[in-house]
A and B are shown apart, each in its own frame.
Chain A
Amino acid sequence: MSENVPNDLLYTEDHEWARQEGNLVTIGITQFAVDQLGDVTQVDLPNEGEALKAHEVFGSVESVKAVSDVYAPISGKVVKVNSPLQDSPEYVNEDPYDGGWMAQIEMSNPDELKQLMTAAAYEEFLKEHEG
């Protein structure tokens, strides 16, 4: 398995990533999640303006094989979603950390970032939990 875990991101145990820029956080799913899912054929995203709560489902990703919920890494308001994913869900496979981003959130509680894993901690987590 390719251990593609960028250093500048934060991670959840459900295999989401978060990229912080000021008060905004961009979120998506990790390479590990993508490898597990296989070919993604549908992405369901929240609406812009919607309020998300950390650890709660904000969308779903369907692959040929399975459907999987996606959980919000942090709480806040959705300011933008990656709407091209509706027509081109394969961006999630091709480029999960960039073209495959899912939503941008304005944080309501930046302290929650401390609960997320660093890249090193996430790599360790993958080794321990996913073999």
Chain B
Amino acid sequence: MNAATEPRTTPLCQAHRKLGAKMIDFGGWLMPVNYPSGILDEHKATRTAVGMFDVCHMGEVHFHGARAAEAVQRLVTNQVGKLCDGRAMYTVACNPKGGIVDDLIVYRVKPDHFLIVVNAANIDKDYRHFVQQVGPWCEIRNASDETGLISFQGPKAEACLQPLTRAPLAALKPFHFLPDVEVAGRPAWIARTGYTGEDGFEIFCATRDAEPLWQALLDACAGVGGKPVGLGARDTLRLEARLSLYGNDLTDETTPLEAGLGWVVKFDAGDFIGREALLRQRDAGLARKLAGFVMLGRGIARHGYPILDPSTGAKVGDVTSGTVGPTVGKNIGLGYVPAGLARAGERLLIDCRGKATEAEVVEGPFYRR
């Protein structure tokens, strides 16, 4: 491996190695896929106690200035105007064709200061897109390298985190956040957000504070069975909660309407990029939709497996995400299929390495806490 292809590391890399993690190159980042206890155990710990995730690789882009709100609204499909200070929302940024540039969380810090958290693999693409589209409107600063992010998720997350901070966590509602607080004596922001389908928090800090904060959080949750969780269980957790993964379920070629994210598209919000194309698609009707399915036969659907029409056997789509659902006790997946096959109760065939295996379309999350 030469220097040019050497994956980047987060400030927690040494901590993962000390914990015995199996590390893999994931989208150019060296990340833990699982720790010695394994994916199923890490999944269960997150559902029953606390799971801790290194998400330092994710990107943080700050928007400052009198026109910051206007700039963010130009970029995203959800309604920025409904945010007040200390509130966050899930949204997507689209290209002019309505394809998804990235899925994001927008945080309003102050009327003239917004933070957008972006996917790790998209940091450069998003930043270029942001600057190109609204660069002259306000200051846009990529703070990804100087910002650490740890996700602390699970039913016991609040009880374990509270002793480390004076921030009033019980009063912090989902998708609200507290900037300028301290956790374990380090300056931090605490957001009640996550990617697991559980209650939980995401804690922003300076890169240099990430390692000591990680240690303090590990100690704080060890007593209740909390543990570090790698990318393997992150995937099973998010898919059970039916949260999309950019690069698999969402791409530049898929629109939020097709992806079942119509609820983050507010046509009245303003003249955001992609609005015209999405209006046209809405009015014309959707040809394909992202369907969630549970496997009826033996087999695990995996990314890239063909989806077949059960009446003709013809290929009608591809699995975009698929895995074991440890908590739901079924094998589950997502994939784009013709709209007529995307309704709950429809049957699909998944081509699992040559074995056509029956699956049933279901609506909504596979798992709800």
Of all chain B residues, the one with the shortest Cβ separation from A65 is B232
Instruction: Check A38/B353 contact, CB under 8 A, given A64-B39, A64-B232, A65-B39.
Output: no
B59 to chain A, nearest CB (A): 26
B229 at the interface (CB under 8 A from A): no
- Where the two chains meet, the residues of A that have a C-beta atom closer than 8 Å to any C-beta of B are 38-39, 41-42, 44, 60, 62, 64-65, 67
B34 at the interface (CB under 8 A from A): yes
Contact of B299 among A39, A42, A64 (CB under 8 A): A42
Residue numbers in A under 8 Å from B33 (CB-CB): 65
State the CA gap A65–B26 with chains docked (Å).
14
Contact of A39 with B39 in the complex, beta carbons under 8 Å:
yes
A16 to chain B, nearest CB (A): 19
Residue numbers in B under 8 Å from A60 (CB-CB): 353
State the CA gap A42–B302 with chains docked (Å).
14
Contact of B353 with A64 in the complex, beta carbons under 8 Å:
no
B76 at the interface (CB under 8 A from A): no
State the CA gap A68–B353 with chains docked (Å).
11
Contact of B236 with A64 in the complex, beta carbons under 8 Å:
yes
State the CA gap A42–B323 with chains docked (Å).
12
B38 at the interface (CB under 8 A from A): yes
Q: How many residues belonging to B are interface residues under a CB distance threshold of 8 Å?
A: 15
Of all chain A residues, the one with the shortest Cβ separation from B302 is A67
State the CA gap A38–B236 with chains docked (Å).
14
State the CA gap A39–B37 with chains docked (Å).
10
State the CA gap A64–B236 with chains docked (Å).
8
Instruction: Check A41/B324 contact, CB under 8 A, given A62-B300, A64-B39, A67-B302.
Output: yes
State the CA gap A121–B250 with chains docked (Å).
47
A40 to chain B, nearest CB (A): 10
Residue numbers in A under 8 Å from B300 (CB-CB): 41-42, 62, 67
Contact of B324 with A64 in the complex, beta carbons under 8 Å:
yes
Residue numbers in A under 8 Å from B264 (CB-CB): none
Instruction: Check A39/B302 contact, CB under 8 A, given A64-B236, A64-B324, A65-B33.
Output: no
Supply 16 A–B pairs (Cβ within 8 Å), ascending by A.
A38-B38, A38-B39, A39-B40, A42-B298, A42-B299, A42-B300, A44-B298, A60-B353, A64-B236, A64-B323, A64-B324, A64-B326, A65-B33, A65-B34, A65-B39, A67-B353
A2 to chain B, nearest CB (A): 10
Which B288-310 residues have a C-beta within 8 angstroms of A?
A: 298-300, 302
Contact of A38 among B232, B298, B302, B323 (CB under 8 A): B232
Q: Which of A39, A42, A60, A62 counts the most B-chain CB atoms under 10 A from its CB? A: A39
Contact of A38 with B324 in the complex, beta carbons under 8 Å:
no
Residue numbers in A under 8 Å from B299 (CB-CB): 42, 62
State the CA gap A107–B25 with chains docked (Å).
42
Residue numbers in A under 8 Å from B323 (CB-CB): 64
B300 to chain A, nearest CB (A): 5
B348 to chain A, nearest CB (A): 19
A38 to chain B, nearest CB (A): 6
A128 to chain B, nearest CB (A): 18
Residue numbers in B under 8 Å from A41 (CB-CB): 300, 324
Q: Binary interface profile of B, 222-247, with partner A (CB < 8 Å = 1, else 0)?
A: 00000000001000100000000000
Of all chain A residues, the one with the shortest Cβ separation from B235 is A64
Which B2-35 residues have a C-beta within 8 angstroms of A?
A: 33-34
Q: Binary interface profile of B, 315-334, with partner A (CB < 8 Å = 1, else 0)?
A: 00000000110100000000
Instruction: Check A39/B353 contact, CB under 8 A, given A64-B323, A67-B300, A67-B302.
Output: no
Residue numbers in B under 8 Å from A42 (CB-CB): 298-300
B236 to chain A, nearest CB (A): 6
With A39-B39, A41-B300, A64-B324 given, name 20 new contacts (CB 8 A).
A38-B34, A38-B38, A38-B39, A39-B38, A39-B40, A41-B324, A42-B298, A42-B299, A42-B300, A60-B353, A62-B300, A64-B39, A64-B40, A64-B232, A64-B236, A64-B323, A65-B33, A65-B34, A67-B300, A67-B353
State the CA gap A62–B352 with chains docked (Å).
11
